[in-house]
Amino acid sequence: MSQLATNCVGLLLLLAAVAIPLSRLRFGSHLVYGACTLVCAVLAGSALLVLLAPGLQPGVIELPVGLPLGRTLLGLDPLSAAFAVIINVATTIVSAYAIGYGAHSREPQRIVPFYPAFIAGMNLVLLAQDAFSFLVGWEFMSLASWALVVSEDRSADNRYAGLVYLIMASAGALTLLLAFGLLAGPAGGYTFVEIRSAVAPHIGSIVLILALIGAGSKAGLVPLHAWLPLAHPAAPSHVSALMSGVMTKVAVYGFVRIVFDLAGPPLWWWSVPVLVVAAATALLGVLYALMEHDLKRLLAYHTVENIGIIFIGLGLALAFEANGFRTAAALALTAAIFHVFNHSLFKSLLFLGAGAILNASGERDMEKLGGLIHRMPVTALAFLAGCMAISALPPFNGFVSEWLTFQAILISPELPQWIPRLLVPAVGATLACSAALAAACFVKAFGMTFLGRARSTAAATAHETDYWSRGAMLLFAALCLLAGILPGFVIDSLAPVTQMLAGARLESQATQPWLRIVPIDVHRSAYNGLLVFAMISIAAAATAAVVRRFASHALRRSPAWDCGFPEPSPATQYTAGSFAQPIRRVFGGVVFRAREHVVMPKPGDNAVARLRVDLHDTIWEALYVPVIRAVNGAADRLNKMQFLTIRKYLTIVFVALVMLLVIVGVWR
């Protein structure tokens, strides 16, 4: 299986090379995207086989390339197989969408070659069984996605996004390099097997912090999320879907691999920074998303929230594992990885929907959309499913993973340490808050985009997208529902992963009657998505039947009532800004230092009154602006060095030489 997966990655790289000439042809991009779909489907299938067939030894492939005198090890173990399934399922469907969507891009040669390379990079990270190939894959993934972000480089915003992304990605990769350097130790055994066997106990803590920064910046943990809402929307929508729905998952994989697998047995306090950062990420992510009017940026900010939810699960798992609560750790890990899977499905779906809207109307700004449900019914249906799933509403899949996270929170009073015990209830409240705010956020996203009346001619003349795109979105929506009503299968397939990382597995859910899920004990908690779905469907159908039988069938279409004063102008509708205004007032005062100013003309003056709202990105201003200022200041100082005379240069060289010699002398 490892051989097959490796071959697939090689095939993807080959495809990237072939795509350079192919993309200039008329149906070249169709061919490339179609090939990506097939290869990713094979990858997903082989990874699923590794995960589900316990007797199958996937083996490790050795490639004779790598560091000097080294070699590259590639292979699938349960952890990488689980993530490979998650990533390649989403990638397969996104590639199918791209067959239709990619045809609309103006310069396919700037996108098509990098697309397979990006997928290959992500899969290489997962396949890597040594630090070297892991980092190579990581950088490959970063650079290919960077190229895709700046593919539309005419807009200054996109160039800026590319710059910020490149800087953050390099910084993240640097910390990961340091983390692996520490793990490999002085002996320099950089394969994962060697690292696992030779782990020094005191190193783990530093590695945790480095991994939290390195993988966290890629995943979008607050405050390292700054690049994400810039870069994800800048790329073409199918690439946005991959970056937001899939690449962030590779980052989560990196964190799990380093902290749970390689860094040795965890200490109890490791959970504290993870939980604090995760809770802040969840809450701030959704609040930022609520303030956003640009659909794709809203979705990107919302990815930040979901990463927070995933890391809450991981933090709980760390706390449990450090105290030897293996089953509880397995539960928290299952919740986290289940949410990884769910998020890859619905976030990809929502970005594909945003792409369809962008394609149909040329608009990303929700203030200029509206009423698309009439003109894009299929997209609307799929997008609605995605919105309900991401808002953690039953019977969709987002609810199941949040429910599991809540169950993990409810066993944490057993923890012996005081700090996590005080922290976890607050984390639980934050999680509950962010779930409720997510629902508000997606009522806004769906309502402003698809409902109401069109706010611009572009929205009024929009049209439904092509068959490939519609099919891909419906497939994602169906998967969201399926994972929600049959969660037991997902939990069972994750059992090998928890067995590998936490040394325990949850009870097999397949044996439960009625396909319900029971994480620990049936008297403690149980959920049956299928039954809930069936009951809602039956109740709704029965009500509709009763109403149909006994109620009047008459239906009259008339102008909207609106309390007797309907206003024909669509400008009188609620906008994205006005929808979020109450929440901005409640939460924004502290988080965004939001201030409202009413500019009133003097009595007798006919000028219009204006409402101005000031919002501050507090994290950017507090953390990034000083750094940027410092770097710019230092660059200005150093700039003077460029215009010295030769005499001064020689003096500098001489002084530097003397200083180095002194240092060497003292060192000896």
Partner 1 sequence: MTGEWLTQAIQAVLVLACAPLLTGVTRKIRARLLRRRGASVIQPYRDLLKLIRKEAVVAENASWLFRVAPYVMFASTWVAAALVPTFATGLTFSAAADLIVIVALLGTARFLLALAGLDVGTSFGGIGSSREMMFASLAEPAMLMAVFTLSLFAGSTQLSSISTYMLGPDAGLSISIALALIALVIVAIGENARIPVDNPATHLELTMVHEAMILEYSGRHLAVIETAASVKLLLYLSLIACVFVPWGTAVSGAGLLAYTIGVVAYAAKLAVLGFLLVVFETAIAKMRVFRVPDFLGVALMLGLLGTMLLFVSRVSR
Site for partner 1 in 536-575 (CB under 8 A): 536-537, 539-540, 543-544, 547, 550-552, 554-563, 566-567, 570, 572-574
Q: According to the binding rule CB under 8 A, does residue 531 interact with partner 1?
A: yes
Instruction: Write out the binding residues for partner 1, residues 427-446 only, by CB under 8 A.
Output: 428-429, 432-433, 435-437, 439-440, 442-444, 446
**Least distance between partner 1 and beta carbon 367 (Å):** 13
Which residues are within 8 A (CB) of 2 and not within 5 positions of it... i.e. 6 or more apart? 58, 59, 60, 61, 74, 75, 76, 127
**Least distance between partner 1 and beta carbon 353 (Å):** 15
Instruction: Write out the binding residues for partner 1, residues 356-375 only, by CB under 8 A.
Output: 370-371, 373-374
Q: According to the binding rule CB under 8 A, does residue 324 interact with partner 1?
A: no
Residue 527 forms beta bridges with which residues?
517
Tell me whether the omega of the peptide bond preceding residue 626 falls within 30 degrees of 0, making it cis.
no
Interface residue with partner 1, options 47, 295, 409, 485 (CB under 8 A): 409
In the shown chain, the binding pattern of residues 373 to 402 toward partner 1, with x for contact by CB under 8 A and - for none, equals xx--x--x---x---x--xxxx----x---
Residue 597 forms beta bridges with which residues?
612
- Matching residue, tokens 């072939």: 18
| Backbone angles phi and psi of 294, in degrees to 5 | -85, 120
CA 364 – CA 358 distance, rounded (Å): 6
Q: Do 401 and 339 meet the contact criterion of CB atoms below 8 Å apart? A: yes
**Least distance between partner 1 and beta carbon 594 (Å):** 13
Q: According to the binding rule CB under 8 A, does residue 447 interact with partner 1?
A: yes
Q: According to the binding rule CB under 8 A, does residue 422 interact with partner 1?
A: yes
Q: In the 3-class helix/strand/coil scheme, how is 71-113 assigned residue by residue?
A: CEEEECCHHHHHHHHHHHHHHHHHHHHHHHHHHHCCCHHHCCC
| Backbone angles phi and psi of 187, in degrees to 5 | -70, -25
User: Nearer to partner 1 by C-beta: 541 or 656?
Assistant: 541
Interface residue with partner 1, options 20, 21, 524, 641 (CB under 8 A): 524
In the shown chain, the binding pattern of residues 453 to 482 toward partner 1, with x for contact by CB under 8 A and - for none, equals x-----------------------------
Instruction: Write out the binding residues for partner 1, residues 30-89 only, by CB under 8 A.
Output: none
What is the helix (H) or strand (E) element at residue 165, kind and residue range?
A: helix 156-184
In the shown chain, the binding pattern of residues 581 to 620 toward partner 1, with x for contact by CB under 8 A and - for none, equals xxx-xx----------------------------------
CA 126 – CA 118 distance, rounded (Å): 13
Which two structure tokens, joined as six digits, stand for 218? 């890629």
**Least distance between partner 1 and beta carbon 526 (Å):** 5
User: Nearer to partner 1 by C-beta: 217 or 575?
Assistant: 575
**Least distance between partner 1 and beta carbon 438 (Å):** 9
CB atoms within 10 A of CB 405: 27
In the shown chain, the binding pattern of residues 628 to 657 toward partner 1, with x for contact by CB under 8 A and - for none, equals ------------------------------
Instruction: Write out the binding residues for partner 1, residues 258-277 only, by CB under 8 A.
Output: none
Q: According to the binding rule CB under 8 A, does residue 416 interact with partner 1?
A: yes
Q: Do 253 and 83 meet the contact criterion of CB atoms below 8 Å apart? A: yes
Instruction: Write out the binding residues for partner 1, residues 158-187 only, by CB under 8 A.
Output: none
Which two structure tokens, joined as six digits, stand for 489? 């299968």
Q: Which amino acid is present at 123?
A: N
CA-to-CA separations, 489 to 331, 334, 346, 482, 508, in angstroms, rounded:
15, 12, 18, 10, 9
